[in-house]
Structure 1
Amino acid sequence: MHTDTPFFSRLSPVPSFPPYSGPYSVGTQDVEIPVSELSSPVSAPDPQVSTISFRLFYPCESEKKAKSVYWLPEPQGEYLRAYYRFMQASPWLASLLSYIPLFRLIHYTTIPAARNAKPLLSPLNSEGRWPVMVFSHGLGGTRNSYSHICGSLASHGLVVLAPEHRDRSAPIAFIRDAADGNRIPVHYTSIPHDPNPEVEEGRNLQLKIRCWELGLVHDALLKLDKGATFTNFQASRSAQDHLTGFQYLLDVHTPGKISWAGHSFGASTIVQFVKSVFYGNSPLYTAPQSSALSEQITPSSPTAFLDLWTLPLLFKSTSSLWAKPLPAYSTTKNSSPTTTPSPPLAITSESFFKWSSNLRNTIRAVSPPVNHISDIKPHLFYPIASAHLSQSDFGLLFPWITKKAMKAEEPERTLRLNMRAILESLRRSGISVADTSSLDMEIKEHHESVTVADSQDGIGLAQGQDQTILDTTSGSVRGWIAIDLPA
């Protein structure tokens, strides 16, 4: 539920998050499942990756004594040192900083969601199942790095699954050894951003791992909905039982119902994944055309791309994918006269908007092909005074750094604008989510003391409930700029 950030929380030196703004309480679980308990159409690109890891965010019953979850994953010391190394600190300095109290305050930051809360409320929508989104992190991200936008979406009635990719793009990741239970570290690998054969080989291997993981995530979702039991290396015995609580409550079987989203390299991952699955014969990942995954991704599959990083889309070896449009613009496979395509949503930061070559490629990536006869057009926007980190948790946790170094303002509002656009895009794609509150929509007659309980307009399933957020008219929403498409 949305309330203003408490006064004493603002005074605390510990970085913190504001409450989620939707009408539902949010539960969260950390999950790590052996690959051997899942099915994949392709072999593992990296045999070392023997598990998949993700965090679930979902609507739940409100709990008075809910256990909070720390934002920094376990083992916290290793993750903190990895973050400092990612920021170019030497191993010696990273270790030193991780023991200085001022530089380890992030240890105490918690996510405003209930840890291992019993899953889900009974859905109030007509489908009787909760809509599902998969969210892929960018370079330097983890399964927790986008917790606020994932949790905010969950508070509006989505089940959001955030994988932690083991492709060496996270500052550090860990794989649990099934034999002895030990954690095997997967360290970050720095790959230059220059387009050359070595970079192409390195990024494509990462994309192969990421797409393979997303295929396994899809299989895990199907099995969770069917009530399958898994080995979960991240949970206690009691929490493991909670995974069975998702049975028959996830809208993951109807084609086109799962939403796919990501940030930066995660957005690139989603582009390559949905195209690879949809068209087949991909150099990165191929699912059998008769598989549930292939049937799931259709022109009506909702997609959201936050600060899409386009370099990984432009390599020669994957030029066949670059030449193909997103599934939304297909007129052949998995489409029918009754299929309503879902326009892609792309939100850049102002810093990426000013990166002209990346912006041109972003527009091309999410737009229909030339001479495409259709009314379907992408939604493209950016919030002013925003930076690349503004769509992750880092803008909220370290606002003074992003403001001074990156000229990013209003981190909480920037994330709220992103969330509003995603929610409205989902509504227009036929996905049932709760209304955006009048407070979040900044309707003037609501004052700062009004909570979402007072201002919520209901469990809104109507398309266009927050029409202004996707309105391309200049000035419809303060500081929210529509990006013009080429004529």
Structure 2
Amino acid sequence: MGFRDRISGKGTGRDDTAHKPSTKSFLGQGGIPNAKKPKTRPPTSIRDQPWFLHASLPTYSGPYTVGVMAIEVPAENPRVISEITREGHHILRLETVLMNIYYPAAHGAGSGKSPSGKHRWSRETWLPRPRLESAKGYGKFAGAKWAMVPFFFATTMFTKIPAFRNAGIAEHWPPGGNVDTRGTRVKQEEGEVPEGEEDPPVFPLMVFCHGLGGTRTVYSSVCGEFASYGFVVCAIEHRDGSGPRTIVLHEEEGEGSVEHLERNGVDHHPRQRRRGWDKVDYIYSKYNPDDTAPTSEQGIDKELRHAQLQLRLAEIEEAYNVLAKICNGQGQEVANKNLRRKGYTGASSNGLQGIDWTLWKHRFHLDQATILGHSFGAATAISVLRHPARFPQIAQGVTYDIWSGPVHPSEPNPAHKIRSPLLGINSEAFMYWPSNFHTATALAAEARAQEAPAWLLTLRGTVHLSQSDFSLLYPTLTAGVMRATADPQRAMDLNINATLEFLGKVSPVTRALIARGASDERILDVEPLEVVPDIHRPDDRHLGFALKVPHVYRHRVAPGTARRWKRMRRRWGRERDAEVGESEVWMHVRSEVEEVERFLKENMGHGRGMERGKDENEDVMSGSGVSTPG
């Protein structure tokens, strides 16, 4: 019997009972953190087969098929964000906003003719186009330059995201269950409209922010999973020099052209004017290139990270404006301005062809949205939550492996304290990084002090990449180099399921969809630990990167074999079930049911659900809790 069966009581013939682990029990356990198969995700085409020469991504486990569209439009308020320059030109500029929107797709997506009229449905490549430029960007980010290009081409050149481009938005409520409980047929069925809900459903909104080295596709599994459970997910590609390489497009003339931007004070290098597009590579600190490392004695480059956060928040505002237009029936206006169309560098020839924008009107909630981010994206999410006056539409936040460098652990200004529900999920590798864990704990405490529910937990056997597509595309590398022992797909399941449980508790607009399709593993009910474990803490030079795992063959070279052996021993009755809290999840901070009920009772019907700041035009970094230049 696995973790999910044990905490739900399925198949046990007995009541569900959770046991509080003793300090002795988890410190003495060095075994595999989970022995359960992940959700079934059948392949969908030849390129998705395990034997195909390139890496593939698993299909999504929710009851909806997933659609995706790529949008890049000129910013409504283009400007230079910071005075930081390279080669005499400003490098942090707001010119356009680029995003992927993942969403629940209508029945029939993937079969018959595509929205563009072609017989074959289009799917976006995981390595963003132009793929050579993206591979070169990753090579530069990794410090290997051209040496990394053959690696990415050999492994992910043909990898595609398992979401259908420009599919129609779903107009049905899903049946009960998901792929894990009912198989893939669940995606072809529809259920009855829940009592008191709208038909067709109005979906909740989620905004996702990537971390350092990320793009709008690197977290496609996270975003696609939430879309498969009924969320409209806006994954922003930040142009702040935190990604490996991103292409910024310009109109040939008029609004969005280089000439128009320069009239607004946005300067450009001569080569940008010649080719009509720009590339933004990862920006290293001029004075401390290793400012993100745990062992960096100088700490982070506060000026650079501060400016990057300013640009990120501005991009979130611009992205929300685009979403508002789509939701308010102005989708065609967005499509007319979209630069990701035929004839533009890095764009698909499909553009936004075939989308019926009338079906998008009033189809997702513009308020009560969730902000979710990984690493630097998690720090961005905290900055958003600390500015409710600027982002009143954001009602709760989720952080995956927060990078503490740009975030103050506690906010002294009462107007900027976190007053929203907060969920923090650590990888085990990041939990051992003291400053990060201290910040994550302090943020949860800050929210609870303002009477907002908060949880903080760690997923055992996981590393920083376990919350991105990299662990799914390169599982052997993740296990062999970073010594991750958790199954990559099971680690993804735990991140998604814990987040869905959190949203089901604190967000009324998500409850009906989550109750209809999600697996309730009661992850957030795990008992908090009395002390922080350190059984897999690496030495300082591997801090935050890898785990220190004994029994190299069993736990590092062949973790899959070890899991199968452990499951067999349980089936034979020769090994006891691990207790909740010591098998897959370590809980550090947990709000009780009474706290959640009190918060909802006091804040229901008040929009965001908290007291907004009074000055809508306040400086975003004033008292924000974000590290500012000294």
Query: Normalising by structure 2, what TM-score?
Result: 0.61
Counterpart CA distance in 2 for 1:310 and 1:50 is 28
Offset at residue 274 of structure 1 (A): 2.2
> Match for 2:128 among 38, 57, 73?
73
In the superposition, relative to structure 1, how do residues 408 and 116 fare at CA in structure 2: closer, same or farther (>3 Å)?
A: same
Q: Is the 8 A contact 1:70 1:110 kept in 2?
A: yes
User: Unpaired runs of 5+ in structure 2?
Assistant: 1-38, 83-90, 112-119, 174-192, 254-274, 286-290, 342-348, 529-578, 592-630
Counterpart CA distance in 2 for 1:366 and 1:198 is 23
Map Cα deviations across residues 423-444 of structure 1 (whole Å, 9 max, x no partner). Answer: 11111122325767xxxxxxxx
Alignment-derived partner of residue 305 in structure 2 = 203
Alignment-derived partner of residue 397 in structure 1 = 473
In the superposition, relative to structure 1, how do residues 3 and 139 fare at CA in structure 2: closer, same or farther (>3 Å)?
A: same
* Structure number with bigger Rg: 2
Counterpart CA distance in 1 for 2:352 and 2:236 is 19
In the superposition, relative to structure 1, how do residues 4 and 209 fare at CA in structure 2: closer, same or farther (>3 Å)?
A: closer
- Backbone CA RMSD of aligned residues: 3.0
> Match for 1:189 among 262, 272, 283?
283
> Match for 2:230 among 147, 157, 161?
157
- Aligned pairs (5 A) from 1:98-109: 98=149, 100=150, 103-109=153-159
Alignment-derived partner of residue 547 in structure 2 = none
Task: Give the secondary structure class of the aligned counterpart of 2:234.
Answer: strand
Q: Is the 8 A contact 1:176 1:183 kept in 2?
A: yes
Offset at residue 311 of structure 1 (A): 1.1
Alignment-derived partner of residue 433 in structure 2 = 355
Task: Give the secondary structure class of the aligned counterpart of 1:33.
Answer: strand
Offset at residue 197 of structure 1 (A): 9.0
Counterpart CA distance in 2 for 1:267 and 1:198 is 16
In the superposition, relative to structure 1, how do residues 69 and 151 fare at CA in structure 2: closer, same or farther (>3 Å)?
A: same
Is 1:473 equivalent to 2:584 in the alignment? no
Counterpart CA distance in 2 for 1:102 and 1:87 is 12
Q: How high is the sequence identity, in percent, across the aligned residues?
A: 30
Counterpart CA distance in 1 for 2:403 and 2:418 is 16
Structure with bigger RCO (C-alpha 8 Å, 6+ apart): 2
Alignment-derived partner of residue 54 in structure 2 = 14
Counterpart CA distance in 1 for 2:450 and 2:339 is 50
Is 1:242 equivalent to 2:355 in the alignment? yes
Alignment-derived partner of residue 424 in structure 1 = 501
Map Cα deviations across residues 114-158 of structure 1 (whole Å, 9 max, x no partner). Answer: 012123425656154110100000000000110001101100000
Offset at residue 314 of structure 1 (A): 3.1
Alignment-derived partner of residue 100 in structure 2 = 55
Task: Give the secondary structure class of the aligned counterpart of 1:31.
Answer: strand
Offset at residue 259 of structure 1 (A): 0.6
- Aligned pairs (5 A) from 1:228-307: 228=330, 229-230=333-334, 231-235=337-341, 239-240=352-353, 242=355, 244=357, 245-252=359-366, 254=367, 257-276=368-387, 278=388, 287=390, 293-294=391-392, 296-297=393-394, 301-307=395-401
User: Unpaired runs of 5+ in structure 1?
Assistant: 281-286, 288-292, 329-342, 437-456
Offset at residue 10 of structure 1 (A): 1.9
Counterpart CA distance in 2 for 1:471 and 1:354 is 23
Counting matched residue pairs gives 415
Offset at residue 275 of structure 1 (A): 1.0
Q: Is the 8 A contact 1:156 1:434 kept in 2?
A: no
Task: Give the secondary structure class of the aligned counterpart of 1:174.
Answer: strand
Alignment-derived partner of residue 75 in structure 2 = 35
Task: Give the secondary structure class of the aligned counterpart of 1:220.
Answer: helix
In the superposition, relative to structure 1, how do residues 138 and 268 fare at CA in structure 2: closer, same or farther (>3 Å)?
A: same
Q: Is the 8 A contact 2:94 2:315 kept in 1?
A: no
Counterpart CA distance in 2 for 1:57 and 1:141 is 17
- Aligned pairs (5 A) from 1:354-393: 354-368=432-446, 372=449, 374=451, 376-393=452-469
- Aligned pairs (5 A) from 1:217-232: 217-228=319-330, 229-230=333-334, 231-232=337-338
Map Cα deviations across residues 191-212 of structure 1 (whole Å, 9 max, x no partner). Answer: 3235859810000010000000
Aligned residue identity for 1:50: E
Task: Give the secondary structure class of the aligned counterpart of 1:29.
Answer: strand
Task: Give the secondary structure class of the aligned counterpart of 1:173.
Answer: strand
In the superposition, relative to structure 1, how do residues 21 and 401 fare at CA in structure 2: closer, same or farther (>3 Å)?
A: same
Deviates more, 1:182-191 or 1:193-202: 193-202
Query: Normalising by structure 1, what TM-score?
Result: 0.78
In the superposition, relative to structure 1, how do residues 353 and 322 fare at CA in structure 2: closer, same or farther (>3 Å)?
A: farther
Offset at residue 69 of structure 1 (A): 1.7
Task: Give the secondary structure class of the aligned counterpart of 1:11.
Answer: coil
